[in-house]
Amino acid sequence: MSEKKRQWTDCLSSRGGRLYIEECDTVDLAKKFGSPLFVMSEKQLRENVREFQRAFQKHWPHGRVEVLPAFKANWNLATRKILSEEGAGADIYSRGELEGALMGGTAPQRISVNGGGKSEETIRRCIETGVLITVEDLDEPELIDRIAGELGKKAKIRFRVKPDFPNLHKRTDFAQEYASIDLGIQVYKSGIPAQYLRELGRKVLTMKNVELTGLHFHGGRHHQSLWYWKGMMKRFGLLIVDLCEYWGEPGRPFKLQQIDIGGGFASHRDPHNKLEYSAEIIFTWLTWPFVQLMRLMNAGLRYRLFDLIVKTMARIPYRGYAPTTEEYAEASLTALRSVLEKRLDLSDVTLQLEPGRRMYGNTGIHLTTIKKVKRQTRPMHMNWVLTDTTYFFLTGGVYEYNMHDFVVANRTEERETQIADIVGHSCYADRILPLVKIPDVTEGDVIAILETGAYQEVSASNFNALPRPAVVLVNGSHAELIKRAETMDDVYGRDIIPERLQSKTRVEAGNRA
């Protein structure tokens, strides 16, 4: 597909054969700040949070809507400051994320502390700062009640629930295996099983130092479709009704202050699990019997057949788009309200949501420079484009089998003419984009990997002692560093060599001399 045919719908554009993010030439950014490089668009991030607020408020007339972006998806403090300026809260999972959200200016009453197995220290910090505690363990309310009593405060909590979803029968995108969404939700560790919620709620309502404010459910990105959200919200709604009626009095159900529907909205270009039919899987599942039969052939014929297999697997990454935020809002809230409005008083009930990948995904790109182009024609054709990055800097995408869309940033109007593996420079196979169609490229060209604003930079690791890249924030034509690249001192900064080993090393070195 030619880049001339690509439809740009966000902060990216093609101008004179070059890729721009907002008003910045991406090739110039790679030269100025170094490569590899993560780049974020401030304009796109602000537009995304406003779009979530606007769309979901439109379909929730009962009370206010609070957007709590998932801090784990992108915990750069500069991006967090931007969201705080926009009035957004935060979904956080660890003590470290809690401190980051507070440093980023997030209003404590709009911070939801999720996660099981919270330490006493973490719970104490939560109560002291006045954040909202999302309970995931059966014994957690008693611990919160005790600590809150010691501090002379009242802690606000809600339950993270795990409903049953027999209606979600389609395949989950969270696994390479063929498993249904309802099975995927049940085997996931988070949430209190529905069987315990009735009695747990009654017990909490008797506690002096704890206030039960609402219910929380996070399904995650199991499926891109609106069907998934409609089915999920209907079952969540049924559980909400059951619990509120059980905790209340006849004719007077318990009144919730808030309902949190979590996240799981597909990001704009949605690279999630698009490596489903990757080369590794096809070779393993489909061609292995034929590979064994091909042992009977002569080597020339065997590799000619391999050539054909490789050509059939070559691809251009997915270039469609997920449903819009407005479509997600209408589908999910129409389904939820259809259940709740018949049985419960929803006046002044706050709706909360915790988008991650859709909030951040299309705000970021990853720039990498081509170091070498390697080719072979015998015994079979293969091309490798070796870059200065690695999939260890994109680990979140590796775990999720992502197939990211990409652009050769200085050749955006050239047609794809060859098939190659775009690979990283770790000692692993490091197949960032396996068997993709690319234009003619050469050393020094810059590749932009798209939709990397969520879960990628925050999951980067130091395999092969590789320093992690910098992060740059773009605002119009202005670009500034918001996280510096690591140095070798950073990479080895946590290491401690005991004195006895240092002394021994010096003595042995002296003897050898």
Q: Where are the beta strands (DSSP E) in 196-315?
A: 210-216, 258-260
- Residue 109: phi and psi, rounded to 5, are -70, -10
11 is catalytic: no
Q: How far apart are CA 201 and CA 213, in angstroms?
A: 11
CA distance 79 to 86: 11
448: β partners: 367, 407
Amino acid, res. 455: Y
- Rounded CA-CA distance 504/53 in Å is 62
Q: How far is CA 302 from CA 182, 290, 359, 383, in A?
A: 43, 10, 48, 19
Distance of alpha carbon 142 from the chain centroid: 32
Helix pair angle (95-103, 120-129), 10° resolution: 20
Alpha helix positions (H), 341-377: 357-360
Task: HSE, CB side, 13 Å, CA atoms: give it for residue 163.
Answer: 24
Closest CA relative to residue 269, chosen from 319, 224, 222, 323: 319
**Locus of tokens 């999910």:** 332
Active-site hit among 11, 24, 244, 427 = 427
Catalytic positions are: 427
